[in-house]
Structures are given as structure tokens and as C-alpha cells.
Amino acid sequence: MNKNLFSKLKEVIKGETYEDEETLKKFDHDASIFEVKPSFVVFPQDTEDLKNIVKFVKTNKNQNPSLSITARAAGTDMSGGPLNESIIVSFMEHFNKIIGIEGNVATTQPGVYYRDFEKFTLQHNLIFPSYPASKDICAIGGIVNNNSGGEKSLEYGKTEKYVKKLNMILADGNEYEFKPLSDRELAEKLQLSSFEGEVYRGIHALITKNFDLLQSAKPKVSKNSAGYFLWNVYDKEKNIFDLTKLFVGAQGTLGIMTQASLELIPVKKHSEMLVVFLEEKDMNNLGEIINTVLPLEPESFETYDDNTLKLAVKFFPEFAKKMGAANIISTAFHFIPEFMMVLKNGVPKLILQIEFAGNNFDDLIDKIKTLKEKLKPFNLNTRVAGNEKQSKKYWLIRRESFNLLREKIKDKHTAPFIDDFVVEPKYLQEFLPKLNEILSKYPSLIYTIAGHLGDGNFHIIPLMNLHEQSQREIIPKLEKEVYDLVFSYNGSTTGEHNDGLARSFYLKQMYGEEVYALFEKTKQIFDPLNIFNPLKKTNSSLEFGMNHIRQNW
């Protein structure tokens, strides 16, 4: 894009604008496998700046068809969601304030790090329960726009459940407030002559006309971030019409979020964790083990594999620092039981973390005892994580494996492209052997497996040398084989990480032509000029993604 356009953009906002190579390089990638160089990066100072940027793009779109806006928070997305060849709008510099709290609802701007938001909510003995594993480095904007979930989603559900109100700038360049509406309030919106009224009329007509189709299209899994959540907007039983349900998980393709009001839950006083170590021989019983655990209603049911555990051992000094230990020896002391177990039985194939939480400590102890008794027929190695320090080490292995991979493996790079699929847990016993059969076709791949076992949500992260053409060529082949298998079990390509450049082109296959056409119509209603975050959700391109595989690390 030309210098003249950049000069015009600088004139309409108070915030900082950049087109230098150093800044563009910083914003040309996220945590995905993609690299897309933007034309400009903007740090808007306030909402007026954002409005003016949208109006600027709208005004200049005819003469510059590729002009568009992509909102970006902390840049930890694993799907290429915040990448764009045009204008990147970064929220971390100025939109980083927690606005306040009323009762159990906190209002915050999108550029607030989750770690800071959590510190604030814990002062009120409350927590936002759908935080992801990247909780120390991600921000609220990404959490809402990806419909994030994590270790507590098994009990509490995902972000979509906790968004109570959103402020959004739409394609006309104006800011609007969105929240659940009664029939009377919806009728008032439908009468508006503004762009807001057009949006409500368009989406209301689309949903009511296709209501049964949309309800049947909703994936039959407990977690989903694929597509637009049209089935969640209109609750006929409660007579509630709620467009926040559509913005959540839309990856900024329908408008720009300026603030979110999020429901919080009380922090439970106690937690107890049972860790289960599965050997190769135990894997055939995984489905039965899952079915034994779930009826006891754990707060979280997580897993990671032997490669993830080996990673923590290989980079033990860095891991010890994450533990907050004064020295490595004191950290190693906490791992003596695991070291002894490995010497006796070898490295376990899969580690299961089953955590119960509540306000009555005795109830938790009873649940642990009950679970251990029910697992006896499987003859498994188990260990009760008896205190906070002991449970912390398991959580850190689970949460930090991806970051360790990114930071420490220099000759190969993390390649998250089959990183977030979901199938119902009841299918895992027959699904996982078929998945392993597919992965075994690619012996050059080293990968870690972690995930939310209770939801059937798996994160497989291969290590690849993406400088090599032969390695890059594996990506679309393996991806298609894995997702074809997922679809055969009525699963979803993504439970938390969303579509982005990585998976948007699978939406038509996942939902079918008819529902995908409704996604296209939704985009058209909100964004007729394709201003917001193009190539995500609709009009996506496998070719574009493959041509933008990151090679500069």
C-alpha cells in the first residue's frame, strides 16, 4: 500500500501508526505456523480512534480493495487469527484497563492480560473459569474472540457462557452495546433505521427462517469454536435474543470489540488431584477409564503424553524456575516419587490429571477414595497430589509444554495445525487407535499430545523443520486425514483455538453447504465491504495459508 494512504491514516487518529520493517516483523506472526506481513500497524488511543480507522477503511475501500482491519491482542493465537496483509490494530498499548466490577460481573478492555485480570478478580474471591493454558501470556480480547476454554471447561463450560455484554464497533464506524434482549427490546431494535437495525433485522430473519436447520447443525460435542454460533443467538424457551453469542468466537470478523463484561464464579476453597499413569498396556482400557471417572464430576480431567513429560525433564532448570523454586534441588525433591516410578516401570505413555474442587475438604477426600476404588480393576499406577506444590508441578507440565517447545527446540519448530480437535469421549477408545494409525504414516514427525480428556479435546503439536518443502507438504495431507476422521465421529476441528487461517476452509465440509452459506450471509450482513479480518471463517483459502507458512524464526 502506498505512502499516501499511510499519511492519510495518520491524520485521522491520535494513536501511533507504524510501517517500519521492525514493527511489521513483530506483528507478522502469532503462535501459529503462519507468517503474513501487514502494511501498517496501529495502536489506537481510544474508541474514537477505532471509529475513525473503520471509517477510513470504509471510505478508501473502493480505490484500495485489499484495505481491511484485523484486531490483535497478545498474539498468542495458534490459528493465524490476528494476521492480515493490511492494517493490524493492536490493543495491548492503550486498551489495557480493567473498568470495574459490579457483583460478579467484571468489565474490561480487550488488551488486558488475563494474568492481570485474574489478580483483580481474586481480590474479590472470584475467577473467570474458562481461561486457557496460556493464561500467563494471553489477553481478554483473544479469549472472547476465540471462545477460549481450558482445564475448568469440563465443569464450567467455555467463554460463550460468561459474556454478559459487549461493546462493538460495527462496519458503519459506530460503537454499539450488545446484550441479551427480551422480545420487547428486540422489537425495538428491529424498528431502528440505523445500521444496527439492519443488522438485527438481517440476523433475526436468517435465524428464524433457518431455526431448525441451525439447531441440528450445532456440533454434538461439549466444546466448539468452529464457525459462527448462530444456533446460540435465539433462545425460544426463554424468549432471549443475544447477539453477544455471535460475536464470541467470531475472531473479529464481524466487528471490533472495545470492552467486555464477563461473569465470574466464586473461588472454591479446596482442591484434590489424583494423577493416573498409564502404560502402553493400559491404553486399551482408556475408554472404560474415562467412563469410570466422568460420573464423579471432576472439575478438570486433563492429560499429556510421554513426550510432554520428557520435555519437562529435558529442560528441568527452566521448569524449576516456572515452579518458583529457590533452587533446582528443592524442585527435584518433589519429583522423587515419579523418578522412582519411572525407574521401576519406565516412562508412562499417558498421564491423567483428575482434579476435584469444592468448599468441603472431606467431600473431596471421599471422591478421591471412591475414584481410586473404582480404578482398582484396571491395576494402574496412581498418586494423590497431596498439596499445592505437588499439584502445581503437574499443572505446569500440562500448561508449559507448548511454550517450552517454542522456546527451546531450535532446529525444529512447533507446528500447530491438528492442535485442537474434539470428539465425544465415548468414542475415544476406538478413535485414538485410528488416530495413531494416521500419525504413524509420518515417522519423521515428533509430537506432543496434551488435552482435555473429559471433553475429548486433544492438542497435538508436531515439531517440524518448516524450511524444508517436504515437511511443509505434510501439513495439508495429515490435516485432511485427521479431520476426515474427526468428522466421521461428528466431531469439531477446534474446541478452543478457533478457525483462523489454519481451519476456516474446513467449515464447509464440517457443517455442509447449506449451513456454510448461512455463515457467508452472516458475514455479509455485518460486514458488507469485507472490512474486518478477511480470509477467516468465510472466503478462506488453503492455498493462501500454505503460501504463508512461517519460515523466518
CATH, domain range 98-266:
3.30.465.10
Give the list of residues 6+ apart from residue 101 with CB closer than 8 angstroms, or none.
107, 120, 121, 124, 126, 264
Q: What is the pLDDT of residue 211?
A: 98
Average pLDDT score over residue span 144-172:
97
User: Tens digits of per-residue pLDDT, 27-44?
Assistant: 999 999 999 999 999 999
Average pLDDT score over residue span 104-109:
98
Query: Do the beta carbons of residue 502 and residue 81 sit within 8 Å?
Result: no
Chain region(s) in the chain for CATH 3.30.43.10: 3-93
Query: Which CATH number is 3-93's, of 3.40.50.460, 3.30.43.10, 1.10.510.10, 2.130.10.30?
Result: 3.30.43.10
Q: What is the pLDDT of residue 165?
A: 98
User: Tens digits of per-residue pLDDT, 333-357?
Assistant: 556 566 566 656 677 889 999 999 9
Query: Do the beta carbons of residue 151 and residue 133 sit within 8 Å?
Result: yes
Q: Cα 330–331–336 angle (5° rounding)?
A: 95
> Cell digits for 58?
470504509
DSSP-derived secondary structure for 355-366: EEEES-HHHHHH
- For residues 129 and 300, give the distance between their C-alpha atoms in angstroms, rounded to a whole number: 11
* Chain position carrying cell 488435552: 451
> Edge to edge, what strands does the sheet with 69-72 contain?
16-18, 40-43, 87-90, 69-72
Please give the single-letter amino acid code of residue 316.
F
**More reliable by pLDDT, 315 or 523:** 523
- For residues 530 and 545, give the distance between their C-alpha atoms in angstroms, rounded to a whole number: 19
Q: What is the pLDDT of residue 419?
A: 96
> Over 70: is that where the pLDDT of 167 sits?
yes
User: Tens digits of per-residue pLDDT, 422-463?
Assistant: 999 989 888 988 998 999 999 988 888 888 999 999 999 898
Closest CA to 269 of 363, 159, 131, 135: 363
Q: What is the pLDDT of residue 322?
A: 62
CA 205 to each of CA 66, 182, 185, 462, 515: distance values in angstroms, whole numbers, following the listed order = 30, 16, 16, 44, 15
Q: Strand runs (DSSP E) across 1-97, as ranges?
A: 16-18, 40-43, 69-72, 87-90
Fold held by 268-407: Alpha-Beta Plaits (3.30.70)
SS3 55: helix
> Cell digits for 216?
441440528
Terminal Cα-to-Cα distance of the chain (whole angstroms): 25
- For residues 113 and 98, give the distance between their C-alpha atoms in angstroms, rounded to a whole number: 10
> Over 70: is that where the pLDDT of 316 sits?
no
- For residues 463 and 339, give the distance between their C-alpha atoms in angstroms, rounded to a whole number: 26
Q: What is the pLDDT of residue 177?
A: 98
Q: What is the pLDDT of residue 336?
A: 57
Alpha helix segments (H runs only) across 218-305: 244-247, 286-293
Average pLDDT score over residue span 157-174:
98
User: Tens digits of per-residue pLDDT, 258-282?
Assistant: 999 999 999 999 999 999 999 989 9
Average pLDDT, the chain: 92
Give the list of residues 6+ apart from residue 203 with CB closer than 8 angstroms, or none.
233, 243, 246, 522, 525
Give the list of residues 6+ apart from residue 212 with CB closer than 8 angstroms, or none.
none
User: Tens digits of per-residue pLDDT, 40-83?
Assistant: 999 999 999 999 999 999 999 999 999 999 999 999 999 999 99
- For residues 85 and 8, give the distance between their C-alpha atoms in angstroms, rounded to a whole number: 18
- For residues 332 and 517, give the distance between their C-alpha atoms in angstroms, rounded to a whole number: 56
> Over 80: is that where the pLDDT of 290 sits?
yes
DSSP-derived secondary structure for 12-31: H-SSEEE--HHHHHHTSB-S
Average pLDDT score over residue span 163-179:
98
Q: What is the pLDDT of residue 29?
A: 97
Q: Cα 324–326–329 angle (5° rounding)?
A: 110
Q: What is the pLDDT of residue 306?
A: 85
Phi, psi of 162 (to 5 degrees): -115, -5
Q: What is the pLDDT of residue 311?
A: 72
User: Tens digits of per-residue pLDDT, 377-420?
Assistant: 999 999 998 666 677 777 777 766 666 666 656 667 889 999 99
Q: What is the pLDDT of residue 395?
A: 74
Q: What is the pLDDT of residue 324?
A: 62
Please give the single-letter amino acid code of residue 397.
I
- For residues 20 and 40, give the distance between their C-alpha atoms in angstroms, rounded to a whole number: 8
E strand or H helix that includes residue 278? strand 270-278
- For residues 220 and 29, give the distance between their C-alpha atoms in angstroms, rounded to a whole number: 33
User: Tens digits of per-residue pLDDT, 452-501?
Assistant: 999 999 999 898 989 899 999 999 999 999 999 999 999 999 999 999 99
Q: What is the pLDDT of residue 408?
A: 59
Chain region(s) in the chain for CATH 3.30.70.2190: 268-407
| Listed ranges 115-124, 278-287, 436-445; the one with the highest mean pLDDT | 115-124
User: Tens digits of per-residue pLDDT, 178-237?
Assistant: 999 999 999 999 999 999 999 999 999 999 999 999 999 999 999 999 999 999 999 999
SS3 513: helix
